[in-house]
Amino acid sequence: MLTKSNTANPSTVLGRQLGDELRRLREAAGLTTVQAAEALDCTKGKISRIENGRVAVRLPDLTAMLHAYQVSDAELRDRLAALARKANRRRRQGWWNQYSSVLADTYRDYIALETMAESIRTFQAQLVPGLLQTPEYIRAVTVASRQWQTADEIEKFVQVRIARQERLSGDSPLRLWAVLSEAVLLQQVGGPQVMKAQLQHLLDVSERPNVTVQVMPFSRGAHASMFGPYVVLGFPEEGALDVVLADNPTGSMWLEREAEVARYRDLFDAARTSALSPVESRAVIHRRAKEHRP
């Protein structure tokens, strides 16, 4: 997962928030995207990308847009300028950018959104979610992927994944709800000793109030989520839409349209309802951990 993307990169939450406000102001001014583009002497596509949050908004462009939309409220202008500066800093200054040599663009985009997310709901068919992986498990997955060749590259990737896990602690920890296929508990990633430690880590971390782990047992048979892993990210900003990252045979796919996101929310709700309860899941994980004998 997160190796490549077959769709456009996702917009950032702050970028989407700014874009939504600019779209509302344009519509209030009675302008189409074509008319707004003419007023700014740019393309219609640029207006659309700004409103979708897919490109940074330079302050001169923001000033020109607000002038074209006849926005005279000084407080509103200052607030939008501050939002634009904050969104642009988020794009440039994330800690993950120092690892650009070993991270695909899709993965960096994902980390950027993860740092701003309030909640994550995920279904995983083969692997423990990255936020719950032990260093040894991470290393085994990284080596098996064959995307990173040198020991230095592998260790940098391991460091990135461990750094991501800090989102599960602190003053405002991320809420993580993971539904795992029972196959995740049986896959011999790194060998029996690594798996035993990994499953024990799952038991330990699932005791945190912000982490829920459920197991989808083989006995449930076919279910709608079995065709591939996905992640649904939720954000704290008022009116912010969820974002989905889903895997398919040709790579990772970002989804932001409300109808598509709603489909994955329904998928996850069905998965968590069909899966074992958290208490029953802990019992299964404990039993599987005992089966992995070093």
pLDDT band at 10 (very low <50, low <70, confident <90, very high): low
- CA-closest candidate to residue 130, choices 100, 96, 93: 96
Residue (of 204, 217, 233) closest to 118 by Cα position: 233
pLDDT for 237 equals 67
Residue 30: pLDDT band (50, 70, 90) is very high
Classify residue 102 by its DSSP letter.
T
Read off the pLDDT of residues 31-54 as tens digits, 9 standing for 90 and up.
999 999 998 888 888 888 788 776
Tell which residue, 220, 226, 185, has the closest CA to residue 202: 185
Lowest mean pLDDT among 87-101, 172-186, 204-218: 87-101
Q: Which helix (H) or strand (E) holds 246?
A: strand 243-248
**Which residue in this structure is represented by tokens 């459920």?**
214
Residues linked to residue 252 through DSSP beta bridges, in sequence order:
5, 247
Distance in angstroms (rounded) separating the CA atoms of residues 156 and 97 = 12
Is the Cα dihedral 255, 256, 257, 259 positive or negative?
Answer: positive
Torsions phi, psi of 244, nearest 5? -120, 135
What average pLDDT is seen over the chain?
88
pLDDT of residue 247: 77
Strands 175-181, 211-216: pairing kind: parallel
Give the residue from 152, 164, 167 showing the smallest Cα distance to 102.
Answer: 152
Distance separating alpha carbons of residues 112 and 237, to the nearest angstrom: 15
pLDDT in tens, 91-109: 667 888 888 888 887 788 7
H/E segment holding residue 255: strand 251-255
CA–CA separation, 267 and 72 (whole Å): 45
Residue 191, by phi and psi: left (phi above 0), alpha (psi -120 to 50) or beta?
Answer: left
Task: Look at residue 71 in the predicted model and tell me its pLDDT.
Answer: 95
Sequence-separated (6 or more) residues with CB below 8 Å from residue 55: 15, 46, 49
Closest CA to 5 of 189, 250, 261, 173: 250
Using DSSP bridges, classify how beta strands 243-248 and 119-124 pair: parallel, antiparallel or unpaired: unpaired
pLDDT at residue 275, rounded to an integer: 97
pLDDT digits (tens, 9 = 90+) for 221-274: 999 898 889 999 998 866 667 889 887 655 678 887 888 999 999 999 999 999
Q: What's the pLDDT at 248?
A: 67
Task: For residue 237, give every residue at least 6 positions away whose Cβ sits within 8 Å of its Cβ, in sequence order, or none.
Answer: 13, 14, 17
Residue 85: its pLDDT value, please? 86
pLDDT at 3 over 60: no
Dist. CA 135–CA 194, nearest whole Å: 9
Instruction: Specify whether the CB–CB gap between 133 and 148 falls below 8 A.
Output: no
Q: Can you give the pLDDT at residue 267? A: 96
Angle of CA points 5, 89, 69, to nearest 5°: 90
E strands, 173-210, where? 175-181
